[in-house]
Amino acid sequence: LAAELIRQKLDHPPITLLFCVREESGLHGARHVDLNALGAPAMAFNFDGSSASSITIAAVGADHWEAEIFGRASHAGVAPERGISATMILALALADVRAGGWFGKVVKGKGKDARQGTSNVGPVTGGDGRPAGDATNVVTDYVHVRGECRSHDAKFVREISNAYKAAFEKAAKQVTNSDGKSGRVKFKAVTEFPPFRIKETLPVVKRATAAVTDIGATPTLRAGNGGLDANWMVRHGIPTVTFGTGQNEPHTIDEWISLDEYDRACALALRLATMG
């Protein structure tokens, strides 16, 4: 866009180009952007996704959670009964979460009143990149695990996180040693990014649909299940829609990009910047 505006010497309204860092690791750039440096934009257009003609006007929010599981070390061959396995607490907690329908795709209720979301368990370590446990002949006394929960409903995001918290606390009480002592858990959940939905009648949406039509495509309004820089830009008070750039199968070994869709996204950016 910048190159074409300069090369063709095209007229355009004031434009701010924003390149947000650390989008994949938690939308940190968009979250902490210096709003005073943006020049008070009336609207924003974000590029992230597959189809350039798909206009994302809503996206999920997410909690990031982490649990520290404290057990008790003991020789696994000589006196395993004196130990409290943090690994077993983890296993029981995750089995409970899955049995309760809180892992993966999460649906609670039926019909139009159903609450929906997703959750995932991520890295399991001993903290600071160390493995969980020291050796196979030692009962594991510490495990650190991180995960996430997502939904278009901010309250349901926290409900999923609370289900994980309850499962870990329950599991810690279930694993005891010969002295009757049990493990313990420290659980923390924080909002990684809020969900959002902007109205279809906003000027930013009208400009987006007009621009897509102008480049010969058919605009489609959609809600996304992934986090976007738009999540935080909307929270900052800047109406933001998102278009795709040809990305397909992201975060998989089958990831690929459509060059035709990428070219269409470039044309769309130019049209958005120069239309009356």
**pTM > 0.85: yes or no:** yes
- Residue 251: pLDDT band with limits 50, 70, 90: confident
For residue 129, the model assigns a pLDDT of 83
pLDDT at 200: 97
pLDDT of residue 258: 97
- List the beta bridge partners of residue 220: 54
In this prediction, residue 149 carries a pLDDT of 98
CA 146 to chain centre: 13
Confidence of residue 25 (pLDDT cuts 50, 70, 90): confident
Coil/strand/helix, residue 14:
coil
228 to each of 18, 49, 129, 194, how far by Cα in Å? 14, 9, 28, 10
Q: β-strand 256-257 against 61-70: which pairing, if any?
A: unpaired
Task: State pLDDT tens for residues 51-63.
Answer: 999 999 999 999 9
CB-based contact 239:204 (threshold 8 Å): yes
Sheet of strand 184-193: strand arrangement: 104-108, 115-125, 142-151, 61-70, 184-193
Written in H, E and C, the secondary structure of 49-88 is CCCCCEEEEEECEEEEEEEEEECECCECCCCHHHCECHHH
pLDDT band at 98 (very low <50, low <70, confident <90, very high): very high
- Return d(Cα 98, Cα 164) in angstroms, integer: 10
Instruction: Read off the pLDDT band of 64 (50, 70, 90).
Output: very high
Domain annotation for the chain: domains and CATH numbers: 2-60+195-274 (3.40.630.10), 61-193 (3.30.70.360)
- Confirm if 241 and 45 have CB atoms less than 8 A apart: yes
Q: Which whole number is the average pLDDT over 119-136?
A: 93
Q: What is the pLDDT of residues 190-226, one digit of tens each?
A: 999 999 999 999 999 999 999 999 999 999 999 999 9
